[in-house]
Chains A and B, each alone.
Chain A
Amino acid sequence: MTRRHRFIHRVLWPILALVVATGFVLALWLRPPPEPGQVRAAPMERPA
């Protein structure tokens, strides 16, 4: 890896990691609570 690649690498992935971590925590925090008695939710890819 060139010095430039190492620099890009070290700048790029922490930014992405921070964005993803924030997005993930928000998504987890805001997700609706499971319905009582729910065994399995609707199929993963549900149409709108």
Chain B
Amino acid sequence: MSVGFRAVQWNRDKLVYDGILVAAVALYIAGFGVVAWRIEPPKNMPEAIDLWIRATGTCAFLMLTVILWIGPLARLSPRFRPLLYNRRHFGVLTFIVAVAHFGFLLSWYIAQHNLPNLGAELTKWEDCGKFIGFPFKTLGIGALLILFLMAATSHDFWLAFLTPRIWKSLHMALYVAYALVVMHVALGIMQSEGTMLIPLMLVGGAGSVAALHIIAGWRERTGDRGNALNADGWIAVGPPYAIPDKCARIVAAPGGERIAVFRDGTQIGALTNLCAHQNGPVGEGRIIDGCVTCPWHGYQYRLRDGCAPPPFTEKLATYRVRINRGLLEVDPRPLPPGTPAGIDIPREAISEILMPKTAM
């Protein structure tokens, strides 16, 4: 992939995903407004604006919570992977809703000809030393700035320019943004409202995010332990036929980096488990149209050499594989990306390897 700018490549899946997202957000905000208006009609303009501050604020919090659910859910079950496909657009829409929240806040001050008070509130340094009474809007603004940074760098141009490694690290700031939002609510509205609804919303949101991460992390921990090496430093993968056709078995090199060993009929190849696009788990994908296909966004690579088919130019690191006494083995030392390393299972071993039961 070149680092030149390329407009968003729309397809039907992205349009459907975004359509559902926008509809859900519009429904939530409109529903919140209608219900709140009926329960307690605003008496003046500031009260009406306050209602929309709450609608957009709770919407942004819920959206952030759902975004943070998607990662661990996709690790726990492939059924949730479609949510991951266009998560960046989800993030950009969350930023837009958060900007609307901030915009309504400004309108609230402007409606009362009170805008300078906001500046005074944000720069009241003596309040910064307090816990209750801390200028909580600064926390919200901090979260908004992080969301801006992430939305601004969400395009594939930045992904390629910064490299997936740096881009991923940068986008982990979402956790910091979420923490700031939780404390923005806890030190803000939760202090002025006596209701238990807000604490419950925070506990439910942040608690579910933490629980999902713990469960997914617990299940992943075995994958981080490097597989045992044999005498000459190779990793035993097992009998080749134990790998389902057009799928992979993932093994871990001694440092914990993962290797995806694929079988496509009688062809075997090992690639790094990191997709060149967003470091997605290539080994959890399948071979489609003769190419290893990443389950996250469908980036494809040839099994034999880890190169994307023309006109694409991405390359994955490959690993040497061999059949040793009927067992498939992989050398955990990576080869330069694009190095041919796939093998064909020897003809004389095929019947034994592919059809062990009939052969016996």
Interface: B143 (CB within 8 A) = no
Interface: B179 (CB within 8 A) = yes
Q: Chain B: interface secondary structure? A: helix
B193 lies within 8 A of A41 (CB): yes
Interface residues of B in 146-161 (CB under 8 A from A): none
The residue on A at minimum CB distance from B220 is A6
Instruction: Give the size of the chain B interface in residues (CB under 8 angstroms).
Output: 55
Interface string of A4-25 (1 = CB under 8 A from B): 1110111011001101110110
The residue on B at minimum CB distance from A19 is B179
B202 lies within 8 A of A24 (CB): yes
Q: How far is the CA of A42 from the CA of B189 in the complex (A)?
A: 9
Which of A5, A10, A31 interacts with B279 by CB under 8 Å? A5
A32 lies within 8 A of B191 (CB): yes
A29 to B: closest C-beta gap in Å: 10
B189 lies within 8 A of A24 (CB): no
Contacts of B213 in A (CB 8 A): 13
The stretch that binds A, out of B4-12, B50-58, B285-293, is B50-58
A38 to B: closest C-beta gap in Å: 6
A10 lies within 8 A of B217 (CB): yes
Which of A8, A9, A28, A44 interacts with B189 by CB under 8 Å? A44
Interface string of B117-132 (1 = CB under 8 A from A): 1101100100100011
Contacts of B121 in A (CB 8 A): 47-48
The stretch that binds A, out of B167-175, B297-305, B327-335, B336-344, is B167-175
B169 lies within 8 A of A31 (CB): no
Interface: B28 (CB within 8 A) = no
Interface string of B96-125 (1 = CB under 8 A from A): 000000000100110010100110110010
Contacts of B224 in A (CB 8 A): 3, 6
Contacts of B217 in A (CB 8 A): 10
B46 to A: closest C-beta gap in Å: 6
The residue on B at minimum CB distance from A17 is B210
The stretch that binds A, out of B180-188, B238-246, B261-269, B346-354, is B180-188
Q: How far is the CA of A6 from the CA of B192 in the complex (A)?
A: 39
Known: A27-B183, A43-B46. 12 other contacts (CB 8 A): A2-B257, A5-B165, A12-B175, A26-B131, A27-B187, A27-B191, A31-B191, A33-B194, A41-B193, A45-B108, A47-B109, A48-B124
Closest 4 CB pairs of A and B: A34-B194, A43-B50, A27-B186, A47-B117
Residues of A within 8 A of B (CB): 1-6, 8-10, 12-13, 16-17, 19-21, 23-24, 26-28, 30-35, 38-48
